[in-house]
């Protein structure tokens, strides 16, 4: 989805190489543009869960999706407040057909996405059924919660200025945009895992539950469908990461519970 810099955020200015002090006319190579994840280090370890996690058992699907969204919002609002950062709420829109957004009109079947221009999280519930039907993956509460938490991870990235940094880097180095997109998406996976760490107690999630969430991460990996059909998608075309990468970073966030552990730009 299109991302653009927001006036309330400060985009990082990436340093270019300095000229030689010897007077040589040979320019010093400029560093490859990247995204500094140092802002994540300002956020602390999230607390252990204290209540029951959201469940679809006593509510319809839309109510469950909203409950997960609200829980994620509450966590990040609290974590920003703990360190003196301003948290601006995201906005949830549940849709089933074409939807107009500040990032453009999106067709039915587009799947979940985040629009930084309006802090908007957009969810089409039919996505979950379609993914389950076509990929053969059971998408229960945990898997659906992961998808929502991933989109809220993009909101956290936007508020911390990482989305703006990404836009600057992509303008400076268009050829590296796909590689940076992979790292950016993996970071949102890790932040989704941080939310899971704060909601699900160790032992509360069954192996099947965690496998469902990891399967959801794997299914939306860039290489999943092509590998399933004996094809290979060139790595340079990836934008979200491989199934293995997405499993790894979701697991990292869940195990660590520390946003600082989600520096995918240092260790992809």
Per-residue pLDDT tens for 210-237? 777 877 777 665 544 444 445 555 555 5
How many residues are listed for the chain in this entry?
A: 268
Give the tens place of pLDDT for each residue, 24-80: 444 444 577 888 888 999 999 999 888 888 888 766 788 999 999 999 999 999 999
Give the structural domain span for 172.
Answer: 38-46+58-262
In a domain, 76, yes or no: yes
Cβ atoms of 130 and 200 within 8 Å: the answer is no
Is 26 contained in some domain?
Answer: no
What's the confidence (pLDDT) of residue 211?
Answer: 76
What pLDDT does 138 receive? 66
- Residue 23: partners with Cβ closer than 8 Å, 6 or more residues away: none
Per the model's pLDDT, the better-predicted residue between 59 and 165 turns out to be: 165
DSSP state letter for 202: T
Residue 182 lies in a domain: yes
Assess if residue 136 is contained within a domain: yes
Query: How far apart are the C-alpha atoms of 247 and 54, rounded to whole Å?
Result: 22
64, part of any domain: yes
Question: At residue 265, does pLDDT exceed 70?
Answer: yes
Element (H, E) at 159: helix 141-159
Structural domain count, the chain? 1
Structural Rg of the chain based on CA atoms: 19
Within 10 angstroms of residue 155's Cβ, the number of other Cβ atoms is 26
Whole-number pLDDT of residue 88? 97
Alpha carbon of 138 to those of 29, 61, 135, 238, 250: distances in Å? 49, 15, 9, 25, 18
The C-alpha atoms of residue 16 and residue 248 are separated, in whole angstroms, by 33
In a domain, 2, yes or no: no
Decide if pLDDT at 242 tops 60.
Answer: yes
Question: Within a domain: residue 198?
Answer: yes
Sheet holding 113-115, edge to edge: 91-94, 120-123, 113-115
Question: Read out DSSP for 100-136?
Answer: EETTEEE-TT--SEEETTTTEEEE-THHHHHHHHHH-
Q: Does residue 53 lie in a domain region? A: no
The CA-based diameter of the chain, rounded to the nearest angstrom, is 73
What is the model's pLDDT at position 52? 83
pLDDT score for 136: 64
Kindly state the helix (H) or strand (E) to which residue 91 belongs, with its residue range.
strand 91-94
């Amino acid at each position: 989805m299109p991302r653009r810099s927001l006036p309330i955020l400060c985009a990082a200015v990436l340093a270019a190489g300095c000229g030689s002090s010897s007077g040589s006319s040979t320019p010093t190579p400029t560093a490859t543009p990247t995204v500094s994840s140092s802002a994540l280090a300002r956020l602390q370890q999230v607390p252990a869960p204290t209540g029951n996690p959201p469940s679809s058992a006593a509510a319809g699907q839309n109510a469950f999706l909203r409950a997960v969204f609200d829980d994620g919002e509450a966590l990040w609002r609290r974590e920003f407040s703990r360190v003196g950062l301003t948290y601006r709420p995201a906005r949830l829109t549940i849709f089933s057909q074409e939807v107009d957004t500040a990032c453009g009109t999106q067709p039915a079947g587009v799947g979940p996405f985040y629009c930084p221009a309006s802090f908007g999280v957009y969810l089409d519930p039919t996505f979950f059924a379609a993914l389950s039907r076509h990929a053969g993956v059971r998408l229960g509460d945990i898997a659906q919660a992961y998808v929502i938490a991933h989109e809220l991870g993009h909101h956290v990235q936007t508020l911390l200025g990482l989305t703006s940094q990404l836009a600057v880097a992509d303008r400076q180095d268009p050829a590296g945009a796909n590689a940076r997109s992979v790292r950016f998406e993996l970071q949102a996976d890790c932040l989704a895992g941080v939310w899971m760490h704060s909601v699900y107690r160790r032992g509360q999630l069954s192996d099947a539950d965690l496998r469902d969430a990891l399967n959801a991460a794997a299914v939306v990996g860039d290489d999943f469908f092509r590998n399933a059909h004996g094809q290979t998608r060139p790595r340079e075309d990836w934008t979200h990461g491989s199934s293995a990468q997405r499993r790894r970073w979701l697991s990292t966030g869940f195990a660590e519970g520390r946003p600082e552990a989600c520096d995918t730009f240092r260790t992809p």
